[in-house]
Amino acid sequence: MSLQWHEFANKDELDLNLAHSIAEQLKQAIAERGTASLAVSGGRTPAGMFKALRTSPIDWAKVNITLVDERWVPNDHADSNERLTRENLLQENAAAANFISMVNESATPHEGLAGIELQLNVIKWPIDILILGMGDDGHTASLFPNAIELEAACASTNLVAAVTPPAAPHQRITLTLPTIAQARNVLVHITGTGKKELLNTAMQEQKAITDLYPIRRVLDQVKSTAQVYWTA
Ligand code: 6PG
């Protein structure tokens, strides 16, 4: 089964349409269950979408927001996904949402895991909406190819796992593959022709591809429902 792609003329159109879809899904979750939950990715791609989403007229006080993954840095660090989310999403209407951090005072994510697992229990799992990015190496969340913890993070029954990226900076904490795959709605947010080609390559049928790209491992479990939002 092939993925469902939504393609847009430019980044502004993509950001507006993706923000609209997320807001509609949050509204629906609130209507059905009384509260809603959203996990967002960091990196360079989401800031514009965050700014479009934060003005949505929904009951943000009923929304729990957390991260798909975090770099193990203080939450005011330039590379912190929490800082990116606080500065760009948790503003205006969305300032009323409850944010659950993915870092604590522990020296390493491995030591901090149990505490984060407890913090995340505020959310009624499975999460309602989860937004994935994708790196140029086919990683998604912090499921990095060749990371020593990759197989454990793909098999774990915990909510989160610690990961050491082989090439990218900072140790990471990430939702595990089973946690991601159980999300009620998975949206993939990517830009650029290079990432489109990479995602198409990762989804090819050859068996040799399957284990190479973590994005493929995730999408194999959710591809009948996952939606890809893309612009060049
Ligand atoms: C992170 C992420 C990560 C990200 C991809 C894409 O903390 O880095 O959450 O999985 O989504 O690396 O990053 P860009 O948007 O910067 O290309």
Check residue 36 and give left, alpha or beta (phi > 0: left; psi -120 to 50: alpha).
beta
Q: In which domain, by residue range, is 57 found?
A: 3-231
Atom of ligand 1 nearest to the CA of 81: 7
Pull the structure tokens for residue 64: 């729990």
Going by alpha carbons, the residue nearest to atom 13 of ligand 1 is 43
Residue 34, CA atoms < 13 Å, CB-side half-sphere: 2
Q: Where are the beta strands (DSSP E) in 100-159?
A: 129-132
Residue 80 Cβ < 6 Å to ligand 1: no
Residue 81 Cβ < 6 Å to ligand 1: yes
Helix (H) or strand (E) holding 7: strand 4-8
How many whole angstroms separate alpha carbon 106 and alpha carbon 114? 10
**CATH number, domain at 212?**
3.40.50.1360
The domain total for the chain is 1
Could you read off the pLDDT of 69-120 as tens digits, one per residue? Answer: 999 999 999 999 999 999 999 999 999 999 999 999 999 999 999 999 999 9
What is the pLDDT, as a whole number, of residue 2? 78
User: What is the average per-residue pLDDT within 17-35?
Assistant: 98
CB atoms within 10 A of CB 177: 23
Going by alpha carbons, the residue nearest to atom 8 of ligand 1 is 43
Which residue type does 206 have? Answer: Q
Could you read off the pLDDT of 176-209 as tens digits, one per residue? Answer: 999 999 999 999 999 999 999 999 999 987 767 7
What is the pLDDT, as a whole number, of residue 1? 57
Q: Provide, rounded to the nearest whole percent, the portion of the chain with pLDDT above 90.
A: 94
How many whole angstroms separate alpha carbon 25 and alpha carbon 91? 19
What is the pLDDT, as a whole number, of residue 99? 98
- Reported as a pLDDT band with limits 50, 70 and 90, residue 48 is very high
What is the pLDDT, as a whole number, of residue 137? 95
Task: Give the residue from 156, 125, 154 showing the smallest Cα distance to 141.
Answer: 154
